[in-house]
């Protein structure tokens, strides 16, 4: 019998498979089609202090082996997430969850993280620092080591739960950003968020997305994500959650060999709502095929 359990920031998960934020709603939506308690955990929809209606449509564009999205963090705001969304999730999911928090200023991040920290079922706080810093000309917090360090310190000062910083690949040196987060007290990092991309409507001769650019995800980005996980594993000693184009159990194992402790599944959920379930069911068979007894033993095993 193979062992799929992993330990993420001191929390034991039955398996390393976690639906990525923004691709699984608040989780309970999927409970209508299968028992979501098979998941290791789940990262719920990106949440901000105030409600957001998101970007204008169209927000989605297809690409070869992937998709572009520019949803714009549509969510009901932290207070309604706590009062309305999380109780619905608790009713159908008994495992630890990951809260994904976004913001456009330090105050945004600290207020939302402080509020979510008191929720018992929330075991991890995943802080998305790919958002534009409105007080610094719109540059992403995650594009500058000092800004990433500043956000990490601010969030750690108001939370008691493990803080996992979610990093953007749209930088020259993602390992440098990860090191800055670690030095500021981050308990882990998750990577990668989407790659910036563009599609043009040939008939209209205009960008397909109303917001012009969007985030590229799907199988096309898997080699880039794997490279980033590899580089960050060599740079930090805190756990890594790998994501970006993961769509099979073999992808999960490849991510873990590169250095990931846990793995998030994103765009695959939008193609097949049973994607995570299928990956989890197939994982023991793939482990047996590759003669892996304990999944946690292979973390960073390719280095």
pTM: 0.97
pLDDT at 67: 97
Tell whether the model's pLDDT for residue 129 goes beyond 60.
yes
Backbone angles phi, psi at 175, to 5 degrees: -65, -35
pLDDT at 131: 74
Mind giving me the DSSP string for 73-110? --B--HHHIIIIIHHHHHTT--S-EEEEE--SSHHHHH
Helix 174-183 vs helix 145-156: crossing angle, to nearest 10: 30
Q: How confident is the model over 50-62, as a mean pLDDT? A: 95
Q: Determine contact, residues 166/190, Cβ cutoff 8 Å.
A: yes
pLDDT at 137: 58
Which pairing describes strands 17-19 and 262-265: parallel, antiparallel, or unpaired?
parallel
pLDDT tens digits for 79-113?
999 999 999 999 999 999 999 999 999 999 999 99
Q: How confident is the model over 143-166, as a mean pLDDT? A: 97
Q: Indicate which residue of 9, 92, 113, 131 is catalytic.
A: 131
Tell whether the model's pLDDT for residue 37 goes beyond 60.
yes
Cβ within 8 Å of residue 43, ≥6 positions away:
18, 19, 20, 21, 24, 97, 98, 99, 100, 126, 264
Distance CA 251, CA 236 (A): 22
Domain segments of the chain as ranges? 6-55+73-196+217-298
Q: How confident is the model over 260-266, as a mean pLDDT? A: 98
Tell whether the model's pLDDT for residue 139 goes beyond 80.
no
Tell whether the model's pLDDT for residue 156 goes beyond 80.
yes
Q: Determine contact, residues 44/21, Cβ cutoff 8 Å.
A: yes
Query: Token match 């309970």: residue?
Result: 28
Q: Where are the alpha helices (DSSP H) in the chain?
A: 78-80, 86-90, 106-116, 145-156, 174-183, 222-233, 249-258, 267-271, 275-289
pLDDT at 177: 98
Tell whether the model's pLDDT for residue 2 goes beyond 90.
yes
Beta bridge partners of 18: 264
131 is catalytic: yes
How many angstroms from the chain centroid is the CA of residue 4? 20
pLDDT at 130: 85
Percent residues over pLDDT 70 in the chain: 97
Q: Determine contact, residues 190/259, Cβ cutoff 8 Å.
A: no
pLDDT tens digits for 169-221?
999 999 999 999 999 999 999 999 999 999 999 999 999 999 999 999 999 99
Q: What class has domain 6-55+73-196+217-298?
A: alpha beta
Q: Which helix (H) or strand (E) holds 151?
A: helix 145-156
Tell whether the model's pLDDT for residue 138 goes beyond 60.
no
Percent residues over pLDDT 90 in the chain: 96
pLDDT tens digits for 230-247?
999 999 999 999 999 999
Structure-token pair, residue 21: 């934020």
């Amino acid at each position: 019998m193979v062992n799929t359990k992993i330990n993420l920031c001191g929390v034991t998960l039955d398996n390393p498979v976690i639906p990525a934020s923004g691709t699984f709603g608040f989780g309970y939506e999927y409970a209508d089609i299968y028992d979501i308690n098979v998941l290791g955990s789940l990262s719920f929809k990106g949440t901000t202090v105030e409600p957001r209606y998101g970007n204008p449509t169209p927000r989605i564009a297809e690409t070869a082996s992937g998709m572009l999205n520019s949803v714009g963090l549509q969510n009901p705001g932290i207070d309604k997430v706590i009062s309305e969304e999380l109780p619905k999730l608790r009713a159908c999911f008994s495992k630890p969850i990951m809260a994904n928090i976004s913001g456009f200023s330090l105050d945004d991040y600290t207020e939302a993280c402080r509020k979510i920290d008191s929720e018992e079922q929330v075991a991890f706080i995943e802080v998305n620092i790919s958002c534009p810093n409105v007080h610094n000309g719109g540059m992403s917090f995650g594009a500058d080591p000092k800004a990433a360090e500043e956000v990490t310190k601010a969030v750690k000062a108001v939370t008691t739960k493990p803080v996992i910083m979610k990093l953007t690949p749209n930088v020259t040196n993602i390992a440098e950003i990860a090191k800055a987060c670690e030095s500021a007290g981050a308990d882990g990092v998750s990577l990668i968020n989407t790659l910036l991309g563009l599609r043009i409507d040939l008939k209209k001769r205009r960008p397909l997305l109303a917001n012009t650019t969007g985030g590229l995800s799907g199988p096309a980005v898997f080699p880039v994500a794997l490279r980033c996980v590899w580089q960050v594993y060599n740079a930090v000693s805190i756990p890594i959650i790998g994501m970006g184009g993961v769509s099979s159990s073999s992808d999960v194992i490849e991510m873990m060999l590169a250095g990931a402790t846990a793995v998030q599944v994103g765009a695959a959920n939008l193609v097949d709502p049973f994607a995570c379930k299928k990956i989890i069911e197939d994982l023991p068979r793939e482990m047996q095929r590759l003669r892996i007894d304990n999944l946690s033993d292979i973390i960073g095993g390719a280095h």
